[in-house]
Chain A
Amino acid sequence: MNSRFVRIAETDRIAVEIRIDGEPAQTLAGDTLLVALLMNGRRVRDSEFGDGPRAGFCLMGACQDCWVWTESGARLRACSTPVQAGMSVLTRPPPALWPITPDLRESLGADSAPAP
C-alpha cells in the first residue's frame, strides 16, 4: 500500500468502507477523512495554482489546505471531518459542478501528475 501516513497504534478498530475518487477504499472507525486519504494514498488534493499535490498541513482546521469534495459538489475539510461508512469523496473538483483553474488543468496535464 502506497500510503503517506504510518499507523503507530490503535490498529484494532472496526474497518470502514468509503470511496475515494470512485474507488473503494478501507479505513478505520475514528479516522479523520485526512487520515483515510493518506492511508490510501500520498495526497489529499492539488494546488489550484499549479504547484502540485498537497497532503494537508496543519491538521487543526487553520490552514484550509485539505478541502475535498463530495460527489454532489459540497466541500469537506478533511482534517476535521470524521469518516463515515459509505462516504464518497473526490480529491479533484467534480467537473460539472466546480470550475477547474487553468493552473490546475495545466499541472494535471503534465506528465508528473500522479494517479489519485
Chain B
Amino acid sequence: MNQAPRIVIVGAGPAGVRAAQALVEAGVRPILVDEGQRDGGQIYRRQPAGFRRSYAKIYGSEAAKAAALHSSFDTLRERVDYRDRTLAWNVTANALHTTRDGTAVTLPFDALIVCAGATDRLMPLPGWQRAGCYSLGAAQIALKAQACAIGTRTVFLGSGPLLYLVASQYLRAGANVAAVLDTAPAAGARAALAILRARPRLALRGLGMMWSLRRAGVPVLQGVRPLAIDGDTARGVSSVRVLDGRGHERCFEADAVALGWHLRPETQLADLARCEFDFEPASRQWLPRIDADGRSSTKGIYLAGDGTRILGADGAEAAGRLAALAAMVDLGHASGAQSYANEAAQLRHALRTMDRFRAGLVQAFPWPHEHAASLPDETVVCRCETVTAGELRRCVNELGSRELNRAKAFSRVGMGRCQGRYCGHAGAEIVAAAAGVSIESVGRLRAQAPVKPLLMNTPEVEG
C-alpha cells in the first residue's frame, strides 16, 4: 500500500506492547491507547515514580518477564504514539473514539487491535456490597501498585489460580491471611492431568502456592459453598461464612474479603465493533469469535490477550504479536508479511498449548453457576444500584423476561455504572434458572457506548 497503515492498539499490557513492538519492527508507527497511568497493564502494572521495591519483590516468579516487557516498552516509547490515561469508549466504522482529560479524540484506523484485558469474574454473595469487600484483582493491585493490604485480616474467597496467587503474595508481603476458601473441589484427576500436560512448570508453581499457604498455618478449604459476608454499616465486613466440603458451617473473622472466580474478558469494544460472539459451554460465557491469528469476524478488527481468551500474560504476549503480524499481512505490508511467514506457525502452536491449559483451568476451577442461580432473594446482585436477586427473579416470574437484556430493562441489573461487568454473569444464571431455560438461551448483555462514564460536556476533535 502507498500510505503508511493507520493501526491503533487499545491497551498497553502484555498483548498491546508486543503488538506495538511487532509493528515498530516492521516500520509502522502505531497509536497505543492506554487507560493506565503507565504501561504494563494490570498484570505487569508499574508502581508509581518514587516507589523502590525490586521487580522480584513485586512480581515474584514473573519478575524477569515483567522487566522484559517494561524494557521493551521503554525502547519503543519514542516510536509509538503512546496515549496514556486515555479511555477508548466507542468503536464505529473504522474509527475509535477516545477521551483524555475531558477532551474526546476520534482516531480513524485501517486496523484496530483490541487488547483490553480482563476484570475479575464475580459472583454476588449476601453482604458483598459491604465496605471492605474487594475483587481479587483489587487486592493484588493494592499490594503491587500501592504497597498496601486491603485490611488487617483478609479472607480470600472464590476460585481459580488468582485466588492462591494473591493469597500467597499477601502472605509473603507479611499481611495477615485469615483463610483461603475455594468453591472448587480438590482438582479432579482428569482436569489436573490436562493442566500438568499443557504447562507443567506453571501447574507445579500453583501447587507450591497451596502448600506454602498451608505450611504457614492458613486454613485452605476446597469445595466450600459461600453463605454470606457478615458485618454492619459502621464497620463494613466483619466475617465470612461458608459451608465446608462436608457441609459444616465455618465462620472466619476478617475486616477484608478478596472475592473472585477467575477472570472475564473485557469484550465491550469488540461487541461495539459488531464482532460475532460464540457461547462457550465449559466456562458458561460468550466469547468473541477469532481465527487462529486473532482476526475477529469484523474486517479490520483484531482481538488479542485476556480481553479475548484468558490465557494469562504469556499467552497475551504471543497473541498480541500474532494479531499485529496478521493485521500487516491483511493490509499488504511487505515486511510485516515476511515476519508473519516466519513466525505465525510457532506463535499459533504456543497459543494452542496455552488454550489447552485454559481449558484445564476452567475444568479444575469451575464457575459455581448453581450457587449463583440459587442465591437468596435478598442478595444484592447489582452493587451499583442495589438491586436484589428477588427483584431480578420477579422480572422473570411476573414480567416474563426470559432474555438478559429484557430482564436488564425491567430490573436495571446490568445497567448501572459498571455496565454489567460484575453482575452480568450471575444475573444470567439467575434469569436462566428462574425461567427454566438454558444459560445460552438467555443471551448476553449487549455492550453500550460509552463503555465507561463520560462527562456530558466532552468536546470531540479528530486526529
Q: Which residues of B contact A96 (CB under 8 A)?
A: none
* Chain A 5-18 interface 0/1 with B at a Cβ cutoff of 8 Å (1 = within): 11111110110000
A112 to B233, CA, bound (A): 6
Q: Which residues of B contact A31 (CB under 8 A)?
A: 146
Q: Which residues of A contact B50 (CB under 8 A)?
A: 13-14, 29-30
Q: Does A42 contact B (CB under 8 A)?
A: yes
Contact A5 B236 (CB under 8 A): no
A8 to B146, CA, bound (A): 9
Task: Tell me the minimal C-beta distance from B392 to chain A in angstroms.
Answer: 15
Q: Does B150 contact A (CB under 8 A)?
A: yes
* Chain B 62-75 interface 0/1 with A at a Cβ cutoff of 8 Å (1 = within): 00000000000000
A27 to B417, CA, bound (A): 28
Contact B385 A6 (CB under 8 A): no
Residues of B123-158 whose CB lies within 8 A of A: 129-135, 137-138, 141-143, 145-152
Task: Tell me the minimal C-beta distance from A59 to chain B in angstroms.
Answer: 4
Tell me the count of chain A residues lying within 8 A, CB to CB, of chain B: 45
Task: Tell me the minimal C-beta distance from B168 to chain A in angstroms.
Answer: 14
Contact A54 B129 (CB under 8 A): yes
Contact B422 A49 (CB under 8 A): no
Q: Does B119 contact A (CB under 8 A)?
A: yes
Q: Which of B42, B52, B131, B152 contacts A60 (CB 8 A)?
A: B42
Contact A5 B421 (CB under 8 A): no
Which B-chain residue is minimally distant from A110 (CB atoms)? B233
Contact B173 A9 (CB under 8 A): yes
Query: What residues of chain B have their CB less than 8 Å away from a CB belonging to chain A?
Result: 35, 37, 42, 47-53, 57, 119-120, 129-135, 137-138, 141-143, 145-152, 173-175, 232-236, 255-256, 266, 380, 383-386, 417-418, 421-422, 452-453
Known: A10-B51, A62-B119. 18 other contacts (CB 8 A): A4-B151, A5-B149, A5-B151, A7-B147, A30-B47, A30-B51, A32-B145, A38-B148, A42-B132, A42-B235, A50-B386, A54-B131, A55-B236, A57-B133, A62-B421, A65-B418, A80-B37, A107-B233
